[in-house]
Amino acid sequence: MMLRLCLLFVSLLTVTITTAVKAESYQLDVPAYNWHLSAGYAGYRTVGFDSTAGAQFTLGYRLDSSLELELTTGFVTLTDENYRQGVPAPSLILEGGEQTLVWSELMFSDSFLQGQWQFSKNTYINTGLFWQFGAGITHFSDEYYPTLVLGGGIRIPYDRYRLELAIKDHIFKFEKIGETSYGNNMQLVVALGISF
């Protein structure tokens, strides 16, 4: 499931880049609302554990025409089923077999390569790529981990609404099998939002 969503994301990203590069200069016909709320699916692939589907919620504020400041929180349930089937490593065994991982982060999001898909003579859909960076806290297994977050994706605004497809990397220091290392914890986000 996660692989199929990633392939869909890459396909849309490729089409958006091609469309944006070929597009002539124009003014996006999107109302300039300052605030937005969004919620959606959050697939999370962390170092050392399996995960179930999670959720993410975002409150954002537009600083200028392309730059936004976003406060995001989300959660996902992690399991250690694969490790219980093999040789158990004490630092990778979860009490009860699963625990909830929660993240909260403050992100800057910057849009670029805005373009349009034309479906008919008078039917257009605006699209734009964006990249994100920020920092936050990840709470897992009764510990709090300072986290660096990097990511990017595709944003499709329509009037007051928006669809976002994004991939993020949550980087934090984690103890695994007695060793401390920095883990790249990948997250796939599919979110719907409303601006106001």
Indicate whether 115 pLDDT > 80.
no
CA-CA distance, 83 to 79, in Å (whole number)? 9
Question: Is residue 154 within 8 Å of 171, Cβ to Cβ?
Answer: no
Q: What is the mean pLDDT of the chain?
A: 79
Indicate whether 83 pLDDT > 70.
no
Q: 26 exposed, middle or buried (CB, 10 Å; 0-12, 13-18, 19+)? A: exposed
Q: Identify the pLDDT of residue 21.
A: 45
Indicate whether 78 pLDDT > 90.
no
Q: Identify the pLDDT of residue 127.
A: 84
Please state the domain count of the chain. Answer: 1
Percent of the chain with pLDDT over 70: 70
User: How far lies 19's CA from each of 11, 16, 65, 124, 190, in Å?
Assistant: 12, 5, 20, 12, 21
In the structure, what pLDDT confidence band is assigned to residue 27 with cuts at 50, 70 and 90? Answer: very low
What is the mean pLDDT of the segment spanning 105-110? 95
Q: Identify the pLDDT of residue 5.
A: 53
Q: Identify the pLDDT of residue 20.
A: 47
The alpha carbon of 85 is separated from its chain's Cα centroid by a whole number of angstroms, namely: 31
Question: Is residue 73 within 8 Å of 42, Cβ to Cβ?
Answer: no
In the structure, what pLDDT confidence band is assigned to residue 177 with cuts at 50, 70 and 90? Answer: low
Indicate whether 74 pLDDT > 60.
yes
> Length of the chain, please?
196
What is the mean pLDDT of the segment spanning 130-142? 92
Range from 19-23, 87-91, 176-180 that averages highest in pLDDT:
176-180
The CATH number covering residue 12 comes to: 2.40.160.20
What is the span of the domain harbouring residue 139? 2-195
